[in-house]
């Protein structure tokens, strides 16, 4: 299949609807019936404010996070429409990809 790899970049302390934004994105992916989403914590990153954000002991709230999804064009359109409806401000990348599965479910290689 062809579609897009979408990666959203945020921080642990950013909230939407009273919950961490990255967690909210994961729940949104499930709600929309998307094939999956992955939360990737990072140790450091430079934000849009040009400041270094890191996962230091006293600054865990500023830990950079990325949420990655691989979607069809239709799923991408649905997701972005929902984000606009929710008025979510979020930096993202959208990269065209080919994706699929190989092998039988439940087998190990």
The pLDDT assigned to 1 comes to 92
Q: Which residue segments constitute the domains of the chain, with CATH numbers given?
A: 2-73+82-97 (3.30.70.120)
3-state secondary structure of 32: coil
Could you give the 3-state DSSP secondary structure of residue 15?
strand
**What are the C-alpha distances in Å from 38 to residues 5, 23, 25, 35?**
11, 10, 10, 11
Q: In terms of Cα–Cα distance, which of 49, 48, 66 is closest to 12?
A: 66
CA distances from 85 to 28, 30, 78, 89, 107 (A): 13, 17, 11, 11, 40
Mean pLDDT of the chain: 88
Average pLDDT value for residue range 22-41: 95
Tell me the per-residue pLDDT of 44-70, one tens digit each, with 9 for 90 and over: 666 667 665 566 655 556 788 999 999
* pLDDT tens string 3-24: 999 999 998 889 999 999 999 9
State how far the alpha carbon of 27 is from the alpha carbons of 56, 63, 85, in Å: 27, 20, 16
User: pTM (2 decimals)?
Assistant: 0.83
């Amino acid at each position: 299949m062809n579609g897009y790899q979408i990666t959203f970049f945020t921080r642990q302390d950013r909230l939407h609807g009273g919950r961490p934004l990255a967690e909210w994105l994961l729940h949104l992916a499930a709600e929309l019936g998307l094939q999956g989403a992955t939360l990737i914590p990072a140790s450091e990153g430079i934000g849009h404010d040009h400041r270094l954000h890191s996962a230091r002991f006293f600054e865990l709230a500023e830990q950079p996070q990325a949420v990655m999804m691989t979607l069809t064009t239709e799923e991408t359109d649905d997701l972005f429409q929902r984000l606009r409806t929710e008025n979510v401000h979020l930096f993202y990348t959208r990269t065209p990809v080919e994706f699929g599965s190989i092998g039988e479910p439940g087998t190990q290689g």
